Amino acid sequence: MIILLDLNGTIATDGKIKEGVKERLTILKERAEIYILSADTSEL
């Protein structure tokens, strides 16, 4: 399984990862390939 996620607005706000996302992604990566995409051009 492949999961595509958008960075800003989905798993992050203003370039900051939302609370709990890291833990959930750690669990998901055991079951799927995870790709994080972003069209945001601001620095993180």
Model confidence pLDDT, tens digit, residues 1-44:
999 999 888 899 887 899 999 999 999 999 999 999 988 666 65
On whether residue 42 sits in a domain, the answer given is no
In a domain, 27, yes or no: yes
Q: Is residue 11 part of a domain?
A: yes
Q: Is 32 a domain residue?
A: yes
Residue 15 belongs to a domain: yes
Flag whether 43 is in a domain.
Answer: no
The pLDDT assigned to 32 comes to: 97
- Residues paired with 13 in a beta bridge: 16
The count of C-alpha atoms lying within 13 angstroms of the C-alpha of 29, restricted to the half-sphere facing its C-beta, is: 9
**Containing domain of residue 8, as a range?**
2-37
Q: Please give the sequence-ordered ranges of beta strands (E in DSSP) within the chain, or none if there are none.
A: 2-6, 12-13, 16-17, 33-37
**37 bridge partner residues:** 6
Q: What is the pLDDT of residue 42?
A: 63
Count of the separate structural domains present in the chain: 1
